[in-house]
Structure 1
Amino acid sequence: MGLSTHVLDTANGRPAAGMAVALYRTNAGTATLLGRYVLNGDGRTDRPLFEDGQLQAGCYQLAFEVAAYFRSQGTPQDAPPFLDTVRLDFGIAQPEQHYHVPLLVSPWAYSTYRGS
């Protein structure tokens, strides 16, 4: 049915508006860029990453530009930052279902899960 993401800035208690995200298809260590996005005011992309019927079974990666986002928010960062780009590798086994990949993030920690 599709693929979507949502990022919440848990350090500041708000959506991660303006964070850059890239989507890749991965296969045997090779990553092919499928798209680059900037999250809107709700911490989401303006459209699903894949619309109904476009998603295919396989391996994917979402790369979230965490350090750049927190720098833009004025959050002090070490050099190098503890978290720079957070890469989430995940698999799509049933492309007829919807896959939602949320990220809860601060400059020092993150978590994810398969959402609905």
Structure 2
Amino acid sequence: MKRGLSTHVLDTAAGLPARDVRIELYRLHEEKGAVLASSGLTDSDGRVKGALLAGDDLHPGRYEIRFYIGEYFRNASHTRFMPTIWEVIPVRFAVEEDGGHYHIPLLASPGSYTTYRGS
């Protein structure tokens, strides 16, 4: 079983992986607020190479992934005439397993999005 945190972004308007989506992962602390833990850019398969956090770095707590999808849709030729209302899609989640595997995919179009815990 893989360990760590991964993500995947799919453009449901095009039916394709979303390339060059900027992603930031924050660890949420009561005292310090949101602390940047990792960042990356999706590749041609809509994935960030490797894990956003390796298994040994993924500890129980609260996290937030920020998907900068507005930049992606503004630059995509197939959505030129479908302006997006999304700028940044924040997804907050809790990690309960120390060193477990979490996969948080995003399916997005200019007018909607959904996410789930993948495998």
- Fold shared, TM-score > 0.5 on shorter chain: yes
TM-score norm. by structure 1 comes to 0.91
Letter in 1 for 2:90: R
Structure 1 unmatched runs, 5+: none
TM-score, normalised with respect to structure 2:
0.89
The count of residues paired between Structure 1 and Structure 2 equals 114
The runs of 4+ residues in structure 1 deviating greater than 4 Å are: none
Q: 1:115: which partner in 2?
A: 118
Give, in angstroms, the shift of residue 52 of structure 1. Answer: 2.5
The SS at the match of 1:53 is: helix
Cα contact 1:6–1:43 (8 A) shared by 2: yes
For residues 32 and 54 of structure 1, the distance between their equivalents in structure 2, rounded to whole angstroms, comes to 14
Q: Contact 2:8/2:46 (CA < 8 Å) preserved in 1?
A: yes
Matched-pair contact (CA < 8 Å) for 2:38–2:53: no
Aligned-residue offset at 1:95: 2.4
Q: Distance in 1 between matches of 2:98 and 2:10?
A: 25
The 2-side partners of 1:102 and 1:108 are apart by: 17
Opposite residue 33 of structure 1, the aligned amino acid is: L
Structure 2, unaligned stretches of length 5 or more? none
Match of 1:41? 44
Deviation, structure 1 residue 96: 3.2
User: Which among 87, 96, 99 is matched to residue 96 of structure 1?
Assistant: 99
- Identify the structure with the greater helix proportion: 2
2:22 is equivalent to residue 20 of structure 1: yes
Q: Is 1:59 aligned to 2:62, yes or no?
A: yes
Q: Please report the RMSD computed on the Cα atoms of aligned residues, expressed in angstroms.
A: 1.5
Is the CA contact 1:2–1:95 (under 8 Å) kept in the aligned structure 2? no
Match of 1:72 among 67, 70, 75: 75
How far is the alpha carbon of 1:51 from its aligned partner?
A: 1.5
Give me the identity figure in percent. 39
Deviation sequence 1:32-64 (CA, Å, 0-9, x none): 111221101110011111123221000000000
